[in-house]
Amino acid sequence: MAEQQVKDALAKIDAATNSIATNLTVASATIQTIGDETTGLKDALKAALANGQGVSQELVDQADALSVKANSTSDALNLLIPVLQSIAANGVIDPVPLSVPVVTD
């Protein structure tokens, strides 16, 4: 593999890393919205339960568990994003400090 091939491959990896970070940002925002909505649903269900409007505690607990899962997932993704952005920010200026030996048949 020639040095240019390695540089080209690393440039593709760099671009993919940027793309992953962007996609995770969108996914995290979407999941955070889901978490916010389920938190609102949980609060509404709690109020309905307190007012005796035929809502069970089990339903409130399920909404709460879903909200916690969504928020935890969003938080985990938010931790990955800066790592990927940092990797991508370093770029690929000269990834191979030494010449790559060319293998001949």
104, part of any domain? no
Which residues are CB-neighbours of 81 under 8 A, at least 6 positions away?
21, 24, 25, 28
pTM of this prediction? 0.65
67, part of any domain? yes
105, part of any domain? no
Q: Which long-range contacts (CB under 8 A, 24 or more apart) does 33-36 make?
A: 34/70, 35/67, 35/70, 35/71, 35/73, 35/74
13, part of any domain? yes
102, part of any domain? no
pLDDT above 90 (res 104): no
Our count of domains for the chain comes to 1
Q: Which residue has the higher pLDDT, 1 or 14?
A: 14
Averaged pLDDT, 23-28:
87
Range of the domain at 54: 3-90
98, part of any domain? no
